[in-house]
A = this chain, B = another copy of it.
Amino acid sequence: MPNVIARRGLMLVLSSPSGAGKTSISRALLAREPGLSMSVSATTRPKRPGEVAGRDYHFVDTETFGLMVNRDELLEHAKVFGNYYGTPRAPVEASLASGHDVLFDIDWQGTQQLRQTAGRDLVAIFILPPSTRELEKRLTSRAQDSARVVAERMAKAADEMSHWPEYDYVLVNEDLETSTAAVVSILAAERLRRERQIGLGDFVKALREGQ
């Protein structure tokens, strides 16, 4: 009888308005979960200082990106501020098939696209700030920004937050530790979902036959 039941990996999406704390939660989660890796996007935007190709992004030119789109090699893609961003399909498929989970830091548009192809492999979590005041504080303290820039960010955040009903789970980020623990629980629970444990049929068959 097998000791470990074969499992299909899952695609864990974290979305939130900027300033809700998603990046900190992602980092804490990756540090705590060795079976989880971050999906590395392809992008046409130039590499910034400190960024590492293949770790932060796959940096490609516009022609290559266009080819990837045409060959259906991207799970989702979008144009943001004149640059293209997309999720390469092959490494994600390989991870899921080998029972490893993949983390995605994408917005509601990417999530909508992913859901169409991913189906039940997708587990989407939306993270909300605890209050408007807290959100404003986080969006302001990030840099020395003018009131106008902060107001624009708040409007964008309000727009993002309107998409919470498209997610499986919603959590209010009061503090990093509680929120990270909540995402760890969601991951642990989703790994135990019947339909992900593809080896269960064989396991129960062996149990029933007394092997």
- A48 to B34 alpha-carbon distance, docked (Å): 50
A5-B172 contact in complex given A132-B211, A164-B204, A207-B128, C-beta closer than 8 Å: yes
Q: How many interface residues does A have (CB within 8 Å)?
A: 40
Q: Does A38 contact B (CB under 8 A)?
A: no
Q: Indicate how many identical chains form the complex.
A: 2
Chain B residue nearest to A171 in the complex (CB): B192
Chain B residue nearest to A164 in the complex (CB): B204
Q: Does A150 contact B (CB under 8 A)?
A: no
The stretch from A69-77, A79-87, A180-188 touching chain B is A180-188
- A41 to B1 alpha-carbon distance, docked (Å): 37
Contact B158 A194 (CB under 8 A): no
Chain B residue nearest to A174 in the complex (CB): B3
Contact B172 A189 (CB under 8 A): no
Contact B188 A192 (CB under 8 A): no
- A23 to B194 alpha-carbon distance, docked (Å): 21
Residues of B within 8 A of A186 (CB): 188-189, 192
Contact B172 A182 (CB under 8 A): no
Contact A192 B207 (CB under 8 A): no
Q: Does A59 contact B (CB under 8 A)?
A: no
Q: Does A122 contact B (CB under 8 A)?
A: no
Q: Does A55 contact B (CB under 8 A)?
A: no
Contact A168 B185 (CB under 8 A): no
The minimal Cβ–Cβ distance linking A202 to chain B, given in whole angstroms, is 12
The minimal Cβ–Cβ distance linking A160 to chain B, given in whole angstroms, is 10
The minimal Cβ–Cβ distance linking A146 to chain B, given in whole angstroms, is 18
Interface residue ranges, A against B (CB under 8 Å)? 1, 5, 126, 128-129, 131-132, 135, 154, 158, 161-162, 164-165, 167-172, 182, 184-186, 188-190, 192-194, 197, 200, 203-204, 206-211
